[in-house]
Structure formats: structure tokens, C-alpha cells
Amino acid sequence: MITLGIETSCDETSVALLSNGDIVANEIFTQALHSLYGGVVPELASRAHLNKVDILAESVLRDHNICPRSLDCIAVTDSPGLAGALLVGISFALGLHCQHGNKITGINHLEGHICSLFCANPDLSCPFLALIVSGGHTAIYRVDDFARYTCLGSTVDDAAGEAFDKVGKLLGFPYPAGRAVEQEAVAAAPGPAIPFPVARCAGQRLDFSFSGLKTAVKYYCMEKGADWVAQNRAEICFSFQKALVDSLARNLLLAAEQTGIRTVGVAGGVACNGELRRTLNTIFGDKISFPPPSLCTDNAAMIARAGYERLRRGMLRFPHMSPSLGIEQQRA
């Protein structure tokens, strides 16, 4: 089965090709222009997708001698994401569908991240816990099977990647700032971390909150002054990163204790973070898996894999820009 994946939910334009679930191609174009504005500008993102998605698709199909009519399924991200950006990908996918008669399915972006774990680890068996941690999402899911997900906790304000970017901007790094903050933290002098607080949400749910952490860093820097911050930026980055990673690790460990499930997968852009990987590897050992960096950031291979799973299970759904028609999940 040949599956074409299309991902345009934010600021990466991506087209991928899978054969029987195996990745044949996974082309990603990252829109660097947003660094000029300190964040993603939705209108510019939509225009960039419009200029790139057809070129990527044509290139992928031509390079692998695939005729569009021979595609068994087209999988396209339809939620969640920037409305205009999603519309570009959906419209392009529907154009192929109408012209060539291919089967088509909408894919929830979060389901795609979960499926990136299957791309990286074909032997991954259910049930397992999935920590999805990116610029727009931070959540823990219990995965009992494909399309059977229970949300155990999610962010009530900022996502982890968003917190990285906002703190990085505060410290003078260009957008996106997550990698720069991580690299700066490596240069921190030995010693105790600055005790930045991270809110703990009340109740039994395993929700996250990073808005207070971001604010704590802001006021700490204001109190210390620009000169002190410039000289101690590495220590601030180290302490911020440690507080955020410890929060993610604490809730994931609590989820494992509450469910009795020790098999864990971590996906999303922040899953590239080295400190997060080291911390979780120490806790879960060989029970944890991460996709390679190319499958952590937004990409079409994970969308195509979700489409492949839906195709072979007879679970295709027509693409709509509506989160309610996306990931079939239950709230714990």
C-alpha cells in the first residue's frame, strides 16, 4: 500500500511517501522567515505552504516514479493547527483526491505524533504511555490501541515548547529558541540550579502548567538587571530547562504509577531535547522510546503512518478542519 502524507498545520511544509507503512520519503521545508517576527505569523505561514506544498509533492512522487493515480491513500492533517495553514494542505489533498479518485483521510496532528513512535519502533506494543511535548501541545495519553487514546493530562496554559521559545526570546535568542536555550544551558557553571517554581495542578489529573515558570524567569531577570542576566544567561537557561524537564518527568512517572504501565514513548519537537531524554532514560531505562529528531518535529511521515493505519483498519474519515472530528480520545 502506497500512502502519501501531507502536513501543513503550522510552519513546516512536509510531504511524505510510505510503502506498507515504511518511510520511502519524508521531505520537510521549515519556514525560516518567522524568526524575523519572534513567532509564527499565520498569514505568512499559509502563503509559504501555498508556494511549497505542490513543489514538494511533485518532487517526492517524481523521484520515486509514483503516479498520483496509483496512490492507495492520501493522508492530510486537518486538526489542530492554524486554520489557514490547514486549509492549504487539505485543499491540495482534496484536489488530488478529486482528480485521481484516491482514497483520502483526515488525520489529527496529535495522532500523527503518536504514530511517529510506531515509525521509529515497529515493535512497540500497546498499551503504552505517550508524552506529546511540542510548541503547541503538552499532554500524556494512554494508548490502548490505534485510535484508542485516553488523555491523562494536558497543559492548562503554555505548552512546553512555547515556554522554551518565550523564555528564549526574553533572554535574547532568535525564534525558535528551544535549541539555543538547550545549548546555552550546557555552558552553565557547576552548582545548584536557580529554584524556579513550576505549578502543580490540583486533583488526580496529570495536567501541566508552564505559564508561572515563564513569569518567574521574567521577574527574576528584571530583579537581577540586564548586565547580571547577560553574564549568567547559561545558569538561567540551565535552571529553567531543569524545572520544565522535572515537571514533565514527574507527571509521566505519576502516570506510570497510576496506570501500572511502564512502557513509554515521547514525541513532538521538545522530544529532541537532550536533557529531557537523559532524565527520562534514567527513570524508564529500556522501557522508553523516542523517534529520531526528523520524526519529532512536524513531519508528513507520521501523518502518512496514521493514514496507513486507518486505511488497513477501514477507519478512513473525510478531512474536515474540526478538532471534534480528530483524535478519538477520552478524558480520564
Give the pLDDT of residue 322.
64
Alpha helices in 28-123 (DSSP H): 42-63, 83-100, 109-120
Q: Where are the domains of the chain?
A: 2-114+295-331, 125-292
Alpha-carbon dihedral angle through residues 5, 36, 323, 316, given to the nearest 10 degrees? 0
Q: Do the domains at 2-114+295-331 and 125-292 have one common CATH topology?
A: yes
User: What is the structure's pLDDT at 324?
Assistant: 43
Fold held by 2-114+295-331:
Nucleotidyltransferase; domain 5 (3.30.420)
How far apart (Å, rounded) are the C-alpha atoms in residues 182 and 295? 19
Of 178, 244, 133, 158, the C-alpha closest to 35 is 178
Q: Does the pTM exceed 0.95?
A: no
Sign of CA dihedral 155, 315, 79, 24: positive
**pLDDT value at residue 222:** 96
| Mean pLDDT split into 10-residue runs, the chain, 332 residues | 97 97 96 90 96 97 96 97 96 97 96 96 94 96 96 96 96 94 94 91 86 96 96 97 97 97 97 97 96 96 98 94 50 48
Nine-digit cell at 23?
518511510
- State residue 310 phi and psi, 5-degree precision: -70, -40
Architecture of domain 125-292: 2-Layer Sandwich (3.30)
